[in-house]
Structure 1
């Protein structure tokens, strides 16, 4: 009798042992599956950082207009802008090469999105300063942004001598406000729109407008690895300025040569800042009133990242 009980007890203990041994791998398998599921859920809910579009334009200027680009943080950009005379000025002036207007400027990136600049143009002996801020950046991924938007505010001071004694410092000032809206449609094509307001404290006649509104457009089409076709155009909104003057038009090419970008262009605008070329362009591009010129820039690292 005791032998039977002992045998049953052994069988019972053996069964419990087998049951315990069988559940260990099952629990381990369940734990592995649970961890794998949690990892998949975490991956699906993780927010991917936005991928910002780079090099919509290769320079901070296109032709006449500024682009959405700014120097990187701690980068100082030295820019030379040069315009010869009109091509239809004849052989006596060597088709404009005997005449020239020059602008020199410095642009500095306070951050990757905020830049300041100063410049001086020989036209009307004008000094200028500006601030550019990248308000929006084109990106893909989470919270994708279809366009880039850079805000520009600039002021200009002419130091040209006038006969009129009333030309005070205030009357020599002009201001420009722009929203630069751009999209890089492909690695080769970039397009930019530029709603523009130019305010002049002083105008020559009552007919002239103190506030001049314009809508600019520009594009860059890459042709080869180092060569691109560019154009920009400013349409003056209806008013006395649009009636009396011309819309600024420019055609050019960008040439990338290592440390700098060399820009060659043809334009009917002699001025090289918004307050000069938007409300003061007189040349008819299609009648040969074309200024040949170039922009060349060089970047210097002032502050290492």
Structure 2
């Protein structure tokens, strides 16, 4: 009888221990859950910068708010063939080409210097980009990113013997405020108020100062594919009356190490001074240049 009572007491004691442990485990799990909830509640107060509004420093013709980053050297190859409506004799534009090579170096995460050379008009250009504001979430959130761009260009075509021009007349300048917002992981939009100044214009139909408002977007389709577009509206004036607004559509293809950009546009020029005030092609009549941008980044100064 005593042995039976012992086993009964042991059984009830074991059951009681199991119930106590079972009650303690949910209590501990509940504490962990409360800690996670507290952390999640605190996360919105943490300021986080929005990354990769665009996947490159260029969209199609236009530049984006992005910069290479501190210690990074970006080498760009920009290429435009002839117009698609040039016919089979010119292999629908593939027999003709304009090329621009450029380097962009990040002095810091905000400041970039760049130089380039275009075969069109044998043009050299240089620019500086500064990321004044960066879109962020959380405490003191910033709704947009703002990058300021200033560039100058000089053409080196030989003057005709009858032309009486000095070298200063070869210079032109571009000033832009690039204002962008990443609305979602898939959609980014950018506005670009633009001023172009040219020291010399060929005809009275052109203007030394040209104002334009640009817009661009990027819509991600898959993990590695996105649609892009940009457009520049010339504000009323002689230039707007005699030239056309720049239109471009394209795709971004991410290939791991870099982004490969394919596009169609009515502008042959690849710097602001050439395409904003001097686009003459009618996109909807087939005056379309097929082109591409290839970017390769090199880490010159490793970040610590």
* TM-score when normalising by structure 2: 0.84
| Partner deviation per Cα, 1:95-140 (whole Å, 9 max, x = no partner) | 0000000000000000001100000000000000000000000001
Task: Give the drift of 1:264.
Answer: 0.2
Q: Answer with 160-169 or 114-123: which moved more.
A: 160-169
Tell me which residue corresponds to 1:29. none
Query: How well do the aligned residues superpose, as a CA RMSD in angstroms?
Result: 1.5
* Gap regions ≥5 residues in structure 2: 1-40
Aligned to 2:210: 212
CA contact (8 A) 2:265 2:289 kept: yes
For 2:192 and 2:149, the matched residues in 1 are separated by: 10
Which residue, out of 78, 81, 84, partners 1:84? 81
Partner of 2:271: 273
166 and 49 in structure 1: CA distance in 2 versus 1, 3 angstrom threshold: farther
1:73 aligns to what? Answer: 70
Aligned residues: 262
Separation of aligned partners in 1, 2:153 and 2:47? 37
Shift of 1:206: 3.1
Which residue, out of 50, 59, 63, partners 2:60? 63
CA contact (8 A) 2:149 2:178 kept: yes
Distance 1:75 1:48 in 2: 31
- Is 1:256 the counterpart of 2:254? The answer is yes
Give 3-state SS (helix, strand or coil) of 1:186's partner. Answer: coil
State the TM-score, normalizing by the size of structure 1: 0.84
For residue 116 of structure 2, the aligned residue among 113, 116, 119 is 119
In structure 2, the partner of 1:108 is 105
How far 1:181 moved relative to its partner?
0.2
**Over residues 226-257 of structure 1, what are the superposed CA-to-partner deviations in whole Å (9 max), with x where a residue is unaligned?**
00000000000000000000000000000000
| Superposition deviation, residue 141 in structure 1 | 1.2
Question: Which segments of 5 or more consecutive residues in structure 1 lack a partner in the other structure?
Answer: 1-43
Q: How big is the shift at 1:167? A: 2.4
